[in-house]
């Protein structure tokens, strides 16, 4: 078993392939294994039906239901270096931005991405991303990334 958090703050440890910590709760097409430089830290999904309320003068309100709208979903990641802090090399920010560039909706391509989330299959269209880097308490940079999708459940 690998010991976590035994080194000084800000260091990165590399797990051997046999050191399986836990099954993934969330996975996204090819991003999880894109160089092992991203870790999914949260997912938030809003759902809403498409409805219209029509009042009448002095009478009942009518409700028209048109089905389920595409949901707004955001998936947030921790982004770190593939090679370790002192060794240089690719960084998770590079992998993350490349994933966005290769999978976003464009005029030529609108291929849905599959998200596996707690036994549910969610499909969605990648419409935005955000990368943020701030300095941690130890003075080292901490990067996070968020993908924004319009999703639907199958």
CA gap 40, 32 in Å, rounded: 8
Comparing 24-28, 55-59, 138-142, which segment has the lowest mean pLDDT?
24-28
pLDDT of residue 31: 62
H helix and E strand count, the chain:
1, 8
pLDDT in tens, 7-31: 454 544 455 544 444 444 455 655 6
Please provide the average confidence, as pLDDT, over all residues in the chain.
Answer: 74
Q: Which residue has the higher pLDDT, 94 or 129?
A: 129
Per-residue pLDDT averaged across 134-148, rounded? Answer: 81
Query: Where are the extended beta strands (E) located within 31-110?
Result: 38-45, 49-54, 62-68, 71-79
Domains detected in the chain: 26-153 (2.40.30)
Q: Is the pLDDT at 145 greater than 50, yes or no?
A: yes
Angle at 78 between CA 69 and CA 5, to 5 degrees: 140
CA gap 64, 68 in Å, rounded: 12
For residue 12, the SS3 value is: coil
Q: Is the pLDDT at 83 greater than 50, yes or no?
A: no
Closest CA to 76 of 128, 2, 9: 128
């Amino acid at each position: 078993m690998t010991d976590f958090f035994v080194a000084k703050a800000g260091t990165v440890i590399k797990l051997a392939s046999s050191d399986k910590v836990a099954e993934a709760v969330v996975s996204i097409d090819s991003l999880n294994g894109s160089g092992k430089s991203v870790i999914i830290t949260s997912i938030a999904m809003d759902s809403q039906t498409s409805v219209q309320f029509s009042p009448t003068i002095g009478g009942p309100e009518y409700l028209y239901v048109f089905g389920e709208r595409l949901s707004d979903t955001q998936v947030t990641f921790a982004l770190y270096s593939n090679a370790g802090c002192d060794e240089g090399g690719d960084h998770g920010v590079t992998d993350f931005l490349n994933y966005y560039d290769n999978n976003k909706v464009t005029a030529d391509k609108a291929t849905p991405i599959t998200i596996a989330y707690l036994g549910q299959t969610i499909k969605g269209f990648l419409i935005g991303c955000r990368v943020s880097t701030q300095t941690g308490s130890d003075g080292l940079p901490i990067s996070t990334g968020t993908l924004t999708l319009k999703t639907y459940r199958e």
